[in-house]
């Protein structure tokens, strides 16, 4: 129902040029919007991780796919659209064409033209801030206050990640890492606060990677006397008690860690380049600084055994966390994990028909989907029991874990 309303509203906008962002979990929705909007637009553009990975998927429903960073590319696309000039000279796009233009790659079967790769923006401070003043901010803020208790908006202060976790997609930014200056970051925060937002989600892949820059951001927030709450995603090998305290005093409310496993061998298999001990130390430091702490884990990863999965479940429930998420492994396109299991992929990801855990296994895994879901439920229940009963949790948790350990080990 909500999507139907959104489709009608989007069509009523009567925009000549429309860009739609997509990733794997948004593919069906993005294509549905494209099909609905195509009769009402003159140029329909797809962008984001999945279009950058696999432009072909979107060529039947979009006019152009942006591959990689999109700011400069979109400007040039709109200019070409307005002047009627050829798209072949625009770096970083894919489009369908029957002609094989010189200097371009062509998929002979599909007739898809791929222009030269777009170079990354060298100085992120030169990129203008999002035009938030054009958005319905009051509605966004009201929705956030009703659902979360605050008006939240997103700020991205870096691009890319210098690490190469096996399961992680770097389709847009590649294996790169670029930063905005502390002053530039806080300038955008001030702009967002001036519009009524009071909570910032820093959406960087590795916001805490450069500790020196993060301390500069914290100092700049305090120097300007800004009062707002914020959250971020951090790496466990970059958090110290001193840094966690500085984040807290600068308004940080919550930090999330992508820990992924409670077993060092599995972490090495994932190419996480962290250890279980580092994970425990970081979570403890953040918790003791007064931050709410969340963590993400993947269970039943290719190459795991029953025991390594149970290691992860026990480790996760033993941490002083405020939020905990478990997921199945997803072999995203163009990742090392996808390459490792591509011959076993047996379906495309689609939204689950039921709301049960909202997880779908898309490949022939070492564990059944039922067993994966059992592991997720087991981990979440252990976590909730530990939070509910505190120091006395062992009275309830130990019998629960003994029974569910046995059941998990004997499931197909």
Domain ranges in the chain? 2-114
Across 41-66, average pLDDT: 94
Residue 354 has pLDDT above 70, yes or no: no
Confidence of residue 353 (pLDDT cuts 50, 70, 90): low
Residue 411 has pLDDT above 50, yes or no: yes
Across 314-331, average pLDDT: 96
Residue 356 has pLDDT above 60, yes or no: no
Render 301-341 in DSSP notation, one character per residue: -TT--HHHHHHHHHHHHHS--SEEEEE-----TTSHHHHHH
Residue 289 has pLDDT above 60, yes or no: yes
CATH topology of domain 2-114: Rossmann fold (3.40.50)
Which DSSP symbol is given to 207? T
Q: Strand 64-66 to strand 93-96: parallel, antiparallel, or no bridges (unpaired)?
A: antiparallel
Tokens describing residue 258: 């992508």
CA distance linking residue 214 with residue 129, whole number of Å = 20
Confidence of residue 367 (pLDDT cuts 50, 70, 90): very high
User: With a threshold of 0.85, does the pTM exceed it?
Assistant: yes
Instruction: Encode pLDDT of 99-114 as tens digits.
Output: 544 444 545 456 789 9
Confidence of residue 120 (pLDDT cuts 50, 70, 90): very high
The pLDDT assigned to 396 comes to 82
Higher pLDDT pick, 350 / 55: 55
CA distance linking residue 337 with residue 329, whole number of Å = 9
Confidence of residue 393 (pLDDT cuts 50, 70, 90): confident
The pLDDT assigned to 150 comes to 96
CA distance linking residue 19 with residue 10, whole number of Å = 12
Residue 383 has pLDDT above 80, yes or no: yes
* Neighbour order of strands in the sheet with 112-114: 17-21, 43-47, 64-66, 93-96, 112-114, 105-107
The pLDDT assigned to 12 comes to 83
> Of 101-115, 137-151, 187-201, 246-260, which range is least confident?
101-115
Tokens describing residue 198: 């009071």
CA distance linking residue 238 with residue 189, whole number of Å = 23
Instruction: Encode pLDDT of 35-49 as tens digits.
Output: 999 888 999 999 999
Q: How far apart are the first and last CA of the chain?
A: 38
Across 304-314, average pLDDT: 98
Instruction: Encode pLDDT of 134-183 as tens digits.
Output: 999 999 999 999 999 999 999 999 999 999 999 998 888 888 899 999 99
Residue 403 has pLDDT above 80, yes or no: yes
Tokens describing residue 391: 């120091």
Render 85-147 in DSSP notation, one character per residue: --STTSSSEEEE-SS--TT-EEETTTTEEE-PPPPPPS-GGGSPPP-GGGS-HHHHHHHHHHH
The pLDDT assigned to 95 comes to 94
CA distance linking residue 182 with residue 157, whole number of Å = 9
* Neighbour order of strands in the sheet with 199-202: 152-155, 199-202, 229-234, 252-260, 292-298, 323-327
CA distance linking residue 242 with residue 158, whole number of Å = 22
CA distance linking residue 297 with residue 280, whole number of Å = 13
Average pLDDT score over the chain: 92
**Among all chains, which residue has been given the structure tokens 């999330």?**
256
Across 349-354, average pLDDT: 68
Confidence of residue 1 (pLDDT cuts 50, 70, 90): low
Tokens describing residue 215: 């301390």
CA distance linking residue 373 with residue 369, whole number of Å = 6
Higher pLDDT pick, 358 / 244: 244
| Nearest C-alpha neighbor of 323 from the set 293, 297, 298 | 293
Contact indicator for 249, 222 with CB cutoff of 8 Å:
yes
């Amino acid at each position: 129902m909500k999507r139907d309303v959104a489709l009608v509203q989007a069509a009523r906008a009567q925009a000549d040029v429309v860009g739609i962002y997509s990733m794997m979990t948004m593919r069906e929705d993005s294509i549905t919007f494209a099909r609905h909007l195509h009769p009402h637009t003159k140029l329909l553009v797809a962008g984001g991780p999945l279009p950058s990975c696999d432009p072909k998927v979107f060529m039947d429903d979009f006019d152009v796919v942006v591959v990689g960073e999109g700011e400069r590319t979109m400007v040039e696309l709109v200019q070409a659209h307005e002047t009627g000039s050829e798209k072949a000279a625009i770096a970083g796009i894919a489009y369908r064409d029957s002609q094989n233009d010189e200097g371009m790659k062509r998929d002979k079967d599909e007739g898809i033209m791929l222009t030269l790769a777009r170079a990354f923006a060298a100085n992120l401070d030169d990129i203008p801030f999002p035009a938030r003043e054009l958005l319905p901010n009051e509605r966004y803020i009201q929705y956030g206050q009703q659902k979360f208790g605050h008006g939240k908006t997103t700020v991205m202060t870096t691009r890319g990640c210098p690490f190469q976790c096996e399961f992680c997609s770097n389709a847009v930014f590649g294996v790169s890492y670029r930063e905005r200056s502390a002053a530039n970051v806080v300038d955008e925060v001030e702009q967002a606060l001036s519009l009524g937002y009071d909570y910032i989600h820093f959406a960087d892949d590795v916001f805490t990677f450069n500790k020196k820059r993060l301390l500069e951001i914290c100092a700049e927030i305090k120097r300007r006397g800004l009062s707002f709450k914020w959250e971020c995603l951090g790496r466990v090998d970059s958090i110290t008690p001193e840094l966690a305290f500085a984040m807290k005093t600068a308004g940080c409310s919550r930090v999330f860690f992508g820990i992924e496993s409670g077993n060092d061998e599995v972490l090495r298999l994932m190419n996480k380049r962290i250890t279980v001990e580092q994970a425990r130390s970081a979570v403890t430091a953040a918790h003791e600084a007064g931050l709410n702490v969340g963590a993400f884990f993947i269970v039943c990863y290719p190459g795991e055994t029953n025991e390594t999965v149970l290691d992860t479940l026990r480790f996760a429930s033993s941490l002083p966390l405020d939020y905990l998420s478990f997921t199945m492994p997803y072999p995203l396109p163009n990742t090392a994990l996808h390459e490792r299991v591509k011959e076993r992929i047996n379906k495309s990801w689609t939204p689950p028909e039921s709301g049960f855990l909202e997880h779908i296994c898309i490949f022939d895994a070492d564990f059944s989907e039922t067993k994966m879901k059992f592991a997720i439920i087991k981990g979440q229940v252990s976590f909730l029991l530990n939070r509910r009963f505190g120091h006395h949790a062992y009275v309830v948790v130990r019998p629960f874990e003994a029974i569910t350990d046995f059941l998990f080990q004997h499931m197909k």
